[in-house]
Structure 1
Amino acid sequence: MTLFELLTQGTECLERAGSPDAGNDAKLLLLEAFELDMTHFLLNRMQALSEDEATKAREEKYREWIGSRAKRVPLQQILGSQEFMGMEFFVNEHVLIPRQDTETLVELVLEREKNTQKRVLDLCAGSGCIGISLAVLGGFCYVAEADLSEEALGVTRKNAENLAKKTGTRIDSFHGDLFDAIPDGTEAFDILVSNPPYIPTKVIAGLEPEVRDHEPMMALDGTEDGLLFYRRIAKEAGSVLAPGAAVYLEIGYDQGEAVSELLRKQGFTEVEVHKDLAGNDRVVCGRFVG
């Protein structure tokens, strides 16, 4: 058996399973299983594999990973990581896999919020990719990560330890339902960021299996119209925000007008919609008057 033959078998297996990028996924899994870069793969791909136990273990791992990917388990969950804002975040089945679209929100905050003494609240934190990126790249003095899922907060804490421990930022994690997670007496926040569940319930059944079957439903389902969490954030945010605080919310491509109106009705000012790199509405921001 050679690496090339293994790759061919893996690719064919994923193609039969309907994997949308079978060849690339099979290659990435092979390189990871054998701890190879592309150069060494190309140099050695036609050589017979060794019969030693270590090589056999790598081959078995690769076949197991291909089996998981054939069941449409996301590649990021199999490998346990996803790149976001130039950093590698640990991910598993308990958190939403960070998307490039969400970098639009982080980049907007970094562009607009230059005062590093501001306190940041990341609601529906999941992997912590938003708040931790702001800690590392923005240097904010304090970041609070809040999520309803204890399992998700475990991922958040691991990423904070791996990526932000050398920063001067204090990062706390709080378990609870949106603002109920924040302990009484906590100092008010100057920046609120969130990528809440926003997919309408009826849409979820039509999503790709990787999302529908393997990412946490509680991170996807925004109830009937997808706007439940925005209503609550707009209505309840004043309980934890300082006067003049900025709010940045990721949205679905068709939710800009609706979410903007929810904020305006609750007295937020300077409400704007920002687009992602694909030209779709992606972030609604506003300012809390207090």
Structure 2
Amino acid sequence: MIVADALRAGTARLTAAGVPDAARDARWLLAHMMGFAPDRLVLHLQDEVGARAAARFETALTAREARQPVAQIVGERLFWGRRFRVTREVLDPRPETESLIALALTERFGSVLDMGTGSGAIALTLMAETGAATTATDLSPGALAVAGENAARLGLHPTFLLSDWFQRVEGRFDLIVSNPPYIAEAEMTALAPEVRDWEPRMALTPGGDGLDAYRAIAAGAGAHLAPGGRLLVEIGAEQGAPVAALFRATGLDDVRIHPDMDGRDRVVAGRTPRIG
């Protein structure tokens, strides 16, 4: 079978399974199984797929028909120009989270704490971009193992802590960042199956109204931020006002809500008062 025929058949299968963007996913999966970048597959449409790649593509299609996310199937996701390993132990790093990275990099910082690090995409990106001393925490040993693997692949050496938010964190930081679980319990059933059924529940929702993680982060941030230090958290599109209110209630200054590239509220920022 040539690439064009395999791609056509794969797209038809995913479409029949109700997979959104079936053509894109079929192209991504086939390219990965053949060792090509997805945008280069068009140059190989008349090539033979080969028995080994065809078997791998068949396995990948079956997984995608079951709505397993493409990043889990291929085992990686591109984030801020770097490839990060992705498994069922961690959230798939999403493009909108790059808004948090962009905002963090608008100011210099020498130390950073990333809480709920998951794959380590945020912590390791900031460390790679700035050389800052980096600490990353998570409550999941499996997530920390994935983050450690990503650090090793990038040649980085942050400090990893198994910690429930600030529980085992010591010292103060110029920057604290987090993409915490923020989906309300009542919203879980409406999530796409790729998220609801395949990503770790503890990384998606804290239960209740979805704000418990922000309450814990806001309550502990003052004791762990250096004077003038910043706190940046990713939020759901409707959570800007309540999270900003939590920040202000705990004494943070310069509290602002920042949009992502699609114009939706995405990051709430605050800082501790400067001395002098």
| d(CA) in 2 for partners of 1:36, 1:282 | 33
Whether contact under 8 Å (1:135, 1:164) holds in the other structure is no
Q: Give the counterpart letter for 1:14 in structure 2.
A: L
- Indicate whether 1:154 and 2:145 are aligned: yes
SS in 2 for 1:180: coil
| d(CA) in 2 for partners of 1:105, 1:111 | 10
Q: Give the counterpart letter for 1:33 in structure 2.
A: M
Q: 1:180 to 1:4 in 2, by over 3 A?
A: same
Specify the alignment match of 1:52 in structure 2: none
Matches for 1:132-281 after TM superposition, within 5 Å: 132-140=124-132, 142-165=133-156, 170-182=157-169, 186-281=170-265
Which of the residues 105, 108, 111 maps onto 2:106? 111
| Structure 1 residues not aligned, in runs of 5+ | 50-54
How far apart are residue 39 of structure 1 and its match? 8.5
Q: TM-score, normalised by structure 1?
A: 0.89
| d(CA) in 1 for partners of 2:232, 2:150 | 22
Whether contact under 8 Å (2:28, 2:38) holds in the other structure is no
Q: What do the CA deviations read for 1:189-231 (whole angstroms, capped 9, x no partner)?
A: 2210000001111111101110111111111103221110101
SS in 1 for 2:228: strand
Q: TM-score, normalised by structure 2?
A: 0.93
| Structure 2 residues not aligned, in runs of 5+ | none
Question: Number of aligned pairs?
Answer: 274
| d(CA) in 2 for partners of 1:191, 1:87 | 22
Whether contact under 8 Å (1:136, 1:164) holds in the other structure is no
Q: What do the CA deviations read for 1:169-198 (whole angstroms, capped 9, x no partner)?
A: x5110002111132xxx3322210000001
SS in 2 for 1:199: coil
| d(CA) in 2 for partners of 1:75, 1:119 | 34
Identity percentage of aligned residues: 39
How far apart are residue 251 of structure 1 and its match? 0.8
How far apart are residue 46 of structure 1 and its match? 4.0
How far apart are residue 41 of structure 1 and its match? 4.8
* Greater C-alpha radius of gyration: 1
Whether contact under 8 Å (2:27, 2:38) holds in the other structure is no
Q: 1:193 to 1:19 in 2, by over 3 A?
A: same
**RMSD across aligned positions (CA):** 1.8
